[in-house]
Structure 1
Amino acid sequence: MAAIRKALSSHKRVVIKIGSALLVDRGSGLKKTWLDAVCADIAGLRAGGTEVLVVSSGAIALGRTVLRLPKGALKLEESQAAAAVGQIALARAWSESLSTEGIVAGQILLTLGDTEERRRYLNARATLKQLLKLGSVPIINENDTVATSEIRYGDNDRLAARVATMAGADLLVLLSDIDGLYTAPPHLDPGAEFLDTIAEITPEIEAMAGGAASELSRGGMRTKIDAGKIATAAGCAMIIASGKSDHPLRAIAEGVRSSWFAPAGLPVTARKTWIAGQLQPAGTLLIDEGAEVALRSGKSLLPAGVRTVVGAFSRGDTIAIVGSGGREIARGLAGYDADEARQIAGKKSAEIAGILGHAGRAAMVHRDDLVMTGAALREGGVAQERDAAHA
């Protein structure tokens, strides 16, 4: 069945991501007129019954303007100082603009651990849903002041995708300075073709992604495609559209050119959505063809099918599972820590006790703790549908 694009107003819950370059001008600072127009669009969506969450970049860009930091890449400590100053201005701007529409803004600052650690994830999700229940519009950003270079999202595209899955949104809108996905960077290739609808994020689609656009933002088309993989796997559609003009959401509703990414057609449990969306798997298992076939049919991953164990992880950590073709096909929670996994990789389950000296689990990753990702999700659709029905 062909993927059908739904009207913007028909979605129940929408996450809107706004990039720094749209919100902040290098010379004049905050683009207040543009922000007021976006808030008017948000009010229009809410009037039609759509709940709205916003992931807003701009704290560092605003802060570096106020602090008069030099052009070019910033050191980590400079970025954190700029974020500390800029986040105050950013939150105030959103609060003031939304208040003119009679809307209360709520600020949430997240770190990577808030979405990667299950308990903190559930707590953040509960807060988001309570804000929506109370009629507020959550304004979300990464907590750049405390995030380190090793433990951070690094861009708000992927943060927005994690927020969309966390909040149970059915649409993610990435407003950018480009109107969608092209077969090649249009400024480099005049013959680049625009892609209106993307039914599936394939390796070919991933290869079309380019780099970051400007010093005001850390994201680029690469991170937008990564965000699309997270969102669509969770059943959330995604739109990439230009936000350069005033009232960009209204423009999307009126049919302005944009790229629409179809959601995966099969639902998965909330727990498996969290597993699939992990940004930093703790390790990797390389498996053989037989194990790959077993996973696609809905079975657990047994030690016998594991060829190589990569990384240092503990039992219960999220790990990536890579098929014989070299592409990630699934993610799951490790049934063993990395050292034990290496000892039993390639062995039959009946041999585990003799190797480890204690009776272990039969599966390296149990089917209840495993979710297929990307194209593998669609290819293994029957098994995924069965899992969802019994969740």
Structure 2
Amino acid sequence: MKRLVVKIGSNILADEKEGLNTKRIFSIASDIAELKDEGYEVVIVSSGAVAAGMRKLGLKHKPRDIKLKQAAAAVGQSSLMWAYERSFGEFHATVAQVLLTREDFSDRKRYINSKNTLLELLSYGVVPIVNENDTVATEEIKFGDNDNLAALVSVLVEADRLVILSDVEGLYTEDPRFNPRAELISFVEEITVDIERRSGRAGSSVGTGGMYSKVLAAKKAVSHCIAVNVINGKKKGLIRAILSGKQHGTFFKPAPCRLSHRKGWIAYNSRSKGTLVLDEGAVKALTGMGKSLLPSGIISVEGEFELGDAVNCTDLKGGRIAKGIINYSSSDLRKIMGKKTSEIEKVLGYKYSDEAIHRDNLVLL
């Protein structure tokens, strides 16, 4: 059975003046119901709560104040879920509301619990409707977007494909709103710096993500061997069309190798509590030889952290090269950095491990 994550943005579901577009929600529900009948498991990552709440509160423009955004999200979430409930009900499909915050991904236990809940819902044929818990998650409203959430959910449920519904056809050589000669990029072999540059940074008036955030989301997903499509979400039938092999929008080719789920969690979900600056020998050992990080290769320790926290590793120029789970607290690490493993117990009075970060808990970036 194939598993699919469909991300639907605010600009697809809602209008700044009119609020929720219930006809479009019904159209999307119709498409997804057909996919379910064909054997697909589908998770929806949906924006639209804030946009729906704007109309109910009589707001003419997207609020910038965090508290007002939270209020709009609280008011709009019920309308959004009712629209999904009613639309999917027409096709005898059951939906479930799942609200997540970044902590549900950064905390390992909550991450596993979220995964188990979503997989259990899918096993019962339910369509989970995932959204960020905007009402309480101030940081997510201010800095997050649902493109990123969709990529994280895709990894969480081990999806085969992520489909991002956009208000444009896909990724272009330039912004088509300003250059009518811009050409659609139908296939992306690898997400390079040039691809990121072409995607720009601007978002919509009712959403937080533009094409740039979609490309960054695709970058995360493809690194886990998940295929990604960015297509026009205002055109009915395109999801089925791309799944049958037809070309629409932009296809991002998945990487050939999949990170283990633990390393994927370390790379993209764990929150870094500090930074280790490494000497040239340590950088070479990690990047070229697949070795663990020893205290002897650490030049300096930045930040405060405890055993089991995630930390970044940088070279002498500040370039991030790796991220991993540390075996010593920052205070202990400052005492043993630059020293041989044989000296650890003498300095600290104990030795938890020869390695500062074991290679099994280390991900190259």
TM-score by length of 1: 0.85
Give the direction of change, closer, same or farther, for the CA distance of 1:320–1:259 in structure 2 (3 Å limit). Answer: farther
DSSP 3-state at the match of 1:149: helix
- The residue aligned with 2:66 is 76
What's the CA shift for 1:152?
7.4
- The residue aligned with 2:167 is 177
Match of 1:21 among 6, 11, 34: 11
Match of 2:194 among 200, 204, 207: 204
Bigger mean CA deviation after superposition, 33-42 or 313-322? 313-322
Distance of 2:278 and 2:184 partners within structure 1: 37
- The residue aligned with 1:168 is 158
Bigger mean CA deviation after superposition, 103-112 or 240-249? 240-249
Distance of 1:116 and 1:123 partners within structure 2: 12
- The residue aligned with 1:304 is 296
CA RMSD of aligned residues (A): 2.4
Match of 2:250 among 259, 262, 286: 259
- The residue aligned with 1:350 is 342
Distance of 2:119 and 2:256 partners within structure 1: 24
Matched, 1:320 2:319: no
Matched, 1:62 2:52: yes
Give matches, 1:9-48, under 5 Å.
Answer: 12-48=2-38
Contact preservation (8 Å) 1:63, 1:85: yes
- The residue aligned with 2:86 is 96
- The residue aligned with 2:113 is 123
What's the CA shift for 1:258?
1.7
**How many residue pairs are counted as aligned between the two chains?**
363
Contact preservation (8 Å) 1:112, 1:152: no
Matched, 1:219 2:201: no
Matched, 1:272 2:286: no
What's the CA shift for 1:325?
6.7
Give the direction of change, closer, same or farther, for the CA distance of 1:116–1:61 in structure 2 (3 Å limit). Answer: same
Contact preservation (8 Å) 2:295, 2:355: yes
**Which residue identity is paired with 1:112?**
R
DSSP 3-state at the match of 1:35: helix
TM-score by length of 2: 0.91
Contact preservation (8 Å) 2:238, 2:248: no
**Which residue identity is paired with 2:301?**
V
Bigger mean CA deviation after superposition, 221-230 or 349-358? 349-358
Give the direction of change, closer, same or farther, for the CA distance of 1:150–1:178 in structure 2 (3 Å limit). Answer: closer
Uncovered stretches (5+) of structure 1, i.e. residues with no partner: 1-10, 374-391
What's the CA shift for 1:256?
4.6
What's the CA shift for 1:300?
0.8
Give the direction of change, closer, same or farther, for the CA distance of 1:25–1:368 in structure 2 (3 Å limit). Answer: same
What's the CA shift for 1:28?
1.9
What's the CA shift for 1:90?
0.6
Distance of 1:340 and 1:207 partners within structure 2: 42
Contact preservation (8 Å) 1:64, 1:82: yes
Give the direction of change, closer, same or farther, for the CA distance of 1:241–1:282 in structure 2 (3 Å limit). Answer: farther
Show CA shifts across 1:154-206 (max 9, x none). 11111111111111111111111232223443334556453322222233333
- The residue aligned with 1:382 is none
Distance of 2:96 and 2:273 partners within structure 1: 32
Give the direction of change, closer, same or farther, for the CA distance of 1:187–1:152 in structure 2 (3 Å limit). Answer: closer
Matched, 1:228 2:218: yes
Match of 2:272 among 259, 281, 297: 281
Distance of 1:303 and 1:208 partners within structure 2: 41
Contact preservation (8 Å) 2:20, 2:51: no
What's the CA shift for 1:20?
0.4
Give the direction of change, closer, same or farther, for the CA distance of 1:242–1:340 in structure 2 (3 Å limit). Answer: farther
What's the CA shift for 1:273?
2.0
Distance of 2:304 and 2:175 partners within structure 1: 38
Match of 2:330 among 326, 338, 351: 338
DSSP 3-state at the match of 2:32: helix
